[in-house]
Amino acid sequence: MQPVLVINDERFKQHLEQVPHLENARRVKAVQSVLEDPSLNGKWAELVPRLATKEELALVHTADHIERIAKTAGKPLSSFDMDTQATEKSYDVARLGVGAVFGLLDEIWTGKANRGFACIRPPGHHAEPDKAMGFCLFNNVALGARYLKEHYSVSKIMIVDFDVHHGNGIQSAFYNTDDVLYVSLHQFPCYPGTGNFGEVGRGRGEGFTINIPLGKGHGARDFAGIIHYMLNPLAQAYHPDMILVSCGFDLYMHDPLGGMTVTPEGYALITFFLLDIAQKVCDGRIAFIMEGGYSLKGIRECGLRVMQELCDVPTLNRKQIEKVTGNSARKLSAVRKVIEIQKEYWKILR
Ligand SMILES: [Zn+2]
């Protein structure tokens, strides 16, 4: 097996340095400690990221937005909303995050690796084409998908977003187009307020946004079950060339911002079933890109299980897997509602 490519650069600690914030440098440190785990020895390789250019940022963002962020460079503190700030080096760090995603996708698309994990910050999925919000400056994953289209003419990309919050920025970037299939599992109602069942895309994009809003308290088997029962057939019907994952660690049971009950084992199951889909539909090409997650213990414990699955270090037994495959996710009322709405666009759900 090719080593799993990992991005984990010291420079990601330079965003919001000295500013007390939930989205802080210790999150990167938590991932570093995961990578030192002996079980992962020799199974991953580091990829050094580059900075994305302004032209590349314009693949998703407006010139005004890029300028607004660029102007924060060198200033001790700039604020976009109550929870979204930039410090002296944030502009460069945010461009490094985007460049990291590009680099990872280059390697995977050209066959130098199959899987990767990008530990980057700030996160991206709340960043709108014209607005920074929700700790996010540039939309890393949306830019990654656009980059694949622009540079390699990749025709079909599936984005799976399992951060506890809805990825409003990714949804906005692709709402009117069938270029990308965006699927989000998230807590609802919750920040940022978008992501309800009826948000399915518009015009040519109708049916290419799939929102799976879930009430508080859902756990490992619910998430893994939905991935296995709904995302698997959807992916087989859509047949993407690559899968990008917006990987939030805030589904974790003790996350200070989320209300879900996912255990580290749950993260292993979620990863296992996503890898299974990638194997079936796109020769295993899959990139995990870090979004939120604010419990350091959660990042360490769930991050380890995600990395172990990516590195093919077996940690799940057959019984744990069968508890997911043997239980129909249709029991969940949210799943039945999503199917009711989306079956108009996806025959496979009928
Ligand atoms: Zn989140």
pLDDT for residue 335:
96
Cβ atoms of 188 and 214 closer than 8 Å = yes
8 A C-beta contact, residue 94 and residue 61? no
What pLDDT does 327 receive?
Answer: 86
List, in order, residues 6 or more apart from 123 with CB less than 8 Å away: 23, 134, 135, 136, 140, 163, 248, 290, 291, 292
In the numeric block, the tokens 């980059």 are attached to: 147
C-beta of residue 140 within 8 angstroms of C-beta of residue 98: yes
Three-state SS annotation for 184-247: EEEECCCCCCCCCCCCCCCHHHCCCEEEEEECCCCCHHHHHHHHHHHHHHHHHHHCCCEEEEEE
Q: Which CATH number belongs to the domain containing residue 228 in this structure? A: 3.40.800.20
Q: What percent of the chain lies above the pLDDT cut of 90?
A: 97
Two tokens at 322?
Answer: 């069968």
CB-CB contact of 302 with 288 (8 Å)? no
Of the pLDDT bands very low, low, confident and very high (cuts 50, 70, 90), residue 332 is very high
State pLDDT tens for residues 131-186.
Answer: 999 999 999 999 999 999 999 999 999 999 999 999 999 999 999 999 999 999 99
Tell me if 75 sits within 8 A of 91, measured CB to CB: no
pLDDT at 298 over 90: yes
Ligand 1 is an ion; residues with CB less than 5 A from it: 163, 165, 248, 250, 292
What amino acid is encoded at 119 in this protein? C
CA–centroid distance, 291 to ligand 1, in Å, is 7
- Of the candidates 227, 181, 235, the one whose C-alpha atom is nearest the C-alpha of residue 348 is 235
Kindly give the distance from the C-alpha atom of residue 259 to the centroid of ligand 1, in angstroms, as a whole number.
11
- Considering 61, 65, 126, 218, which one is annotated as catalytic? 126
For residue 225, is pLDDT > 90?
Answer: yes
User: Of 28, 181, 178, 36, nearest to 100 (Cα)?
Assistant: 28
Position of tokens 């995302």? 231
Looking at residues 282-291, what average pLDDT do you find?
A: 98
Is-contact 145 33, C-beta < 8 A?
Answer: no
Question: What residue type is assigned to position 11 of the chain?
Answer: R
pLDDT above 80: residue 126: yes
What is the residue-averaged pLDDT of the chain?
A: 97
- Going from the Cα of 92 to the center of ligand 1, the distance in angstroms, rounded, reads 22
Taking the complete model, does pTM exceed 0.75, yes or no? yes
Using alpha carbons only, give the angle 310, 312, 313 rounded to the nearest 5 degrees: 110
Cβ-based burial of 104 (10 A; exposed 0-12, middle 13-18, buried ≥19): buried
Ligand 1 centre to CA of 347 (Å) is 31
Distance 1 CA to ligand 1 centre (A): 32
CA of 300 to the centre of ligand 1 (A): 16
pLDDT at 343: 97
Domain count along the chain = 1
Which H or E run contains 85? strand 84-86
Confidence of residue 73 (pLDDT cuts 50, 70, 90): very high
Determine the pLDDT at residue 1. Answer: 77
328: confidence class by pLDDT, cuts 50, 70, 90 = confident
pLDDT digits (tens, 9 = 90+) for 8-61: 999 999 999 989 999 999 999 999 999 999 999 999 999 999 999 999 999 999
Assign 3-state DSSP to the chain and report helix, strand, coil percentages, each to 5: 45, 15, 40
- Closest residue by Cα to residue 30 from 255, 218, 219, 184: 255
Percentage of residues in the chain having pLDDT higher than 70: 100
Q: What is the pLDDT of residues 203-224, one digit of tens each?
A: 999 999 999 999 999 999 999 9
Question: Given pLDDT bands bounded at 50, 70 and 90, which one contains residue 2?
Answer: confident
Q: Which domain holds residue 41?
A: 4-349
* 228 is an active site residue: no
- Measured in residues, the chain has a length of 350
Q: Which two tokens stand for residue 315?
A: 């940690």
Among 227, 222, 237, 319, smallest CA distance to 273 is for 227
